[in-house]
Structure 1
Amino acid sequence: MPLPLLLLLLASILRLPPPASAACSPRACGDLTVDYPFWLEDGAGRPPCGSPSFQLNCNGGKAFLTHSVYGQYQVVRVFVQNSSFVAVDHSLLVPPAGCPKWWFNVSDGIGLGPYTISKKNRELLVLYNCTNQQRRPTPQGFLPTPCLNESFYRVGGEYGGHRDQGGLPPGCNLSVVPFLGFLDQDAYLGSMRQGFLLEWKLTSGDCPKCTASGGQCRYGNNGTGFSCNCSGALYPEECGVFA
């Protein structure tokens, strides 16, 4: 082969972009190895490596769910074999006294994702914004929090169990916070800092297979509807395969 032609061929090879699947390879964020179905955004314009529901951003060595409501949910451990992960809600951990800016049900913050709060968690019941609180005693079975908003807490059993127990006092807002561990009643803040367990449903589509075939993953229907975009043509899983 003539030398000029060989040099031209080598130059064209060197200019080839990296395989699409390379951006989807496992990546590290602090102590967490991020692997499919989770993926890290990198701001380099690469196509997504998975469903937006599993998109993470790495901030200070901590991986946070990119798409969530209210708080900052850090993913600290992932159990792919069990389709579950441990998350810590940072919006409920400040200031150190354990008094967040507002109480809310964690399930509201993740309601748009394919996650469910595992029954393996326990629940922390918090009463707040109670009407006429100055004229009523501490609700039976509850303890006052150190917060200035006249709130009260009780450590319950299995997450969601309060629905079957009843007996909650009227005139108060109720917030339910899941947590792991079996600490003492007075150590609820430490329990919250351990995080809680979330389980995910299987997502449709196989993004690594799509990108390996030269396509780009496309999601609709709140991140669950999957198709593989191959130069404008849509395939259900990978380029060139309809079945």
Structure 2
Amino acid sequence: MQSHAPAELRLRPLLLFMALLILTGASPAQPQPPDDESCAPAACGNLTIKYPFWLIGRHTSSCGFPTFGVTCSDDPTGATPPTLSGSYLRLIDIRYGDRTVVAFHARLASGGACRAMRFNVSTSLALSQLAVSAANWELFFRANCTRAPPPPAEALRLDCPGAGTWSVYAGRRYQPGDGGIAPAAPPAPPAEPAGCSHTVVPVLPGSELRTWDDYPGIVGRGFMLEWTVPGDCAACNATGGRCRYEDGANAFGCLCPGGSVQPATCGPNDPDIQTTAYYGDMCWRKYSVMYSSL
């Protein structure tokens, strides 16, 4: 006997079934992250530590890039910034959106200006995933110049035992091999000063060296570093995954809701997404049959 119930009543079971699918997380439009909380963001002072960084003592090494382990200071006052990968770098800020950190070098900040004569930031980072940002300014140290023009008028004199007399001034760009640009000078192509001994220390934009009293503060505020690591964590998160680093494969991994680890993002190969697709297909078939019988 053919049913003469209104179409709305006959569709109610299907609508209830579809709502149940959505409430149980079977909708592919709203991927749910996996239950693994072992790599959840963690606080370290005023910083939030998450991929590609990981907090030593709290996270496992798979939570971030191997050389980006962060050690929190045990200073109860919180005045000592955390350390990066057991190095002399102290983290002041992490800007995940820009893929940059602000850090200072503990040895450089704890000694006088003459310590810069034996210091090269770029060389110390040569094998790292970090690079000194070109957005930095610089402190330029030069000495023993035989053919170079004289230093800017605002340059400060620095006498270092065993290393002679140096001229030091701030420049508006960071170029490890150039001659520096005094704040009032117009832009010019990089040019290593002829016949000079020189070294360059990156500092944050806006730094001014007017007297030697300014030096500790300038160096202590640090400089910007940019990181480049494998994988697109934002894309992984957008598909419901969580970012991991696979030690065995030495590569980025995206941990998906079904428990599988994909090389980039969660997709059709993830078990949960396959289940969602199956029930979604069944739902559509049932809807099609019921609609055609109306």
State the TM-score, normalizing by the size of structure 1. 0.66
How many residues in Structure 1 have an aligned counterpart in Structure 2? 205
Query: Of 100, 104, 107, which residue of structure 2 is paired with 1:84?
Result: 100
Query: Of 134, 138, 141, which residue of structure 2 is paired with 1:126?
Result: 141
The C-alpha deviation readout for 1:165-223, integer Å capped at 9, x for no partner, is: 43624152x221110133234333321111001122353265997xx9899732489x6
Instruction: Quote how far apart the aligned CAs of 1:76 are.
Output: 0.7
1:170 equivalenced with 2:232 (yes/no): no
Cα distance in 2 for residues equivalent to 1:193 and 1:65? 16
Cα distance in 2 for residues equivalent to 1:86 and 1:58? 16
Query: Of 138, 154, 157, which residue of structure 2 is paired with 1:144?
Result: 157
Query: Of 61, 82, 85, which residue of structure 2 is paired with 1:63?
Result: 82
Query: Of 252, 257, 277, which residue of structure 2 is paired with 1:226?
Result: 252
Secondary structure at the aligned position of 1:160 is classed as coil
Instruction: Quote how far apart the aligned CAs of 1:160 are.
Output: 1.4
CA contact (8 A) 2:108 2:115 kept: yes
Instruction: Quote how far apart the aligned CAs of 1:122 are.
Output: 0.5
Counting only pairs closer than 5 Å after superposition, residues 137-216 of structure 1 correspond to structure 2 as 140-141=150-151, 142-148=155-161, 149-150=163-164, 152=166, 153-160=168-175, 162=178, 164-166=189-191, 168-170=193-195, 172=197, 174-180=198-204, 181-186=206-211, 187-204=214-231, 206=233
* Structure 1 equivalent of residue 245 of structure 2: 217
Change (3 A) 1:189 1:31: same
* Structure 1 equivalent of residue 277 of structure 2: none
CA contact (8 A) 1:94 1:100 kept: no
Instruction: Quote how far apart the aligned CAs of 1:87 are.
Output: 0.7
Cα distance in 1 for residues equivalent to 2:227 and 2:243? 25
Secondary structure at the aligned position of 1:28 is classed as strand
Higher helix share: 2
Query: Of 77, 99, 115, which residue of structure 2 is paired with 1:100?
Result: 115
The C-alpha deviation readout for 1:123-182, integer Å capped at 9, x for no partner, is: 112236x5xx9xx8xx8315332532325223222111826343624152x221110133
Cα distance in 1 for residues equivalent to 2:243 and 2:229? 21
Change (3 A) 1:117 1:237: same
CA contact (8 A) 2:92 2:102 kept: yes
Secondary structure at the aligned position of 1:23 is classed as coil
* Unmatched tracts of structure 2, length 5 or more: 1-33, 180-188, 272-294
Cα distance in 2 for residues equivalent to 1:27 and 1:234? 22
CA contact (8 A) 1:20 1:214 kept: no
Cα distance in 1 for residues equivalent to 2:221 and 2:242? 41
* Unmatched tracts of structure 1, length 5 or more: 1-18
* Structure 2 equivalent of residue 4 of structure 1: none
Cα distance in 2 for residues equivalent to 1:119 and 1:216? 29
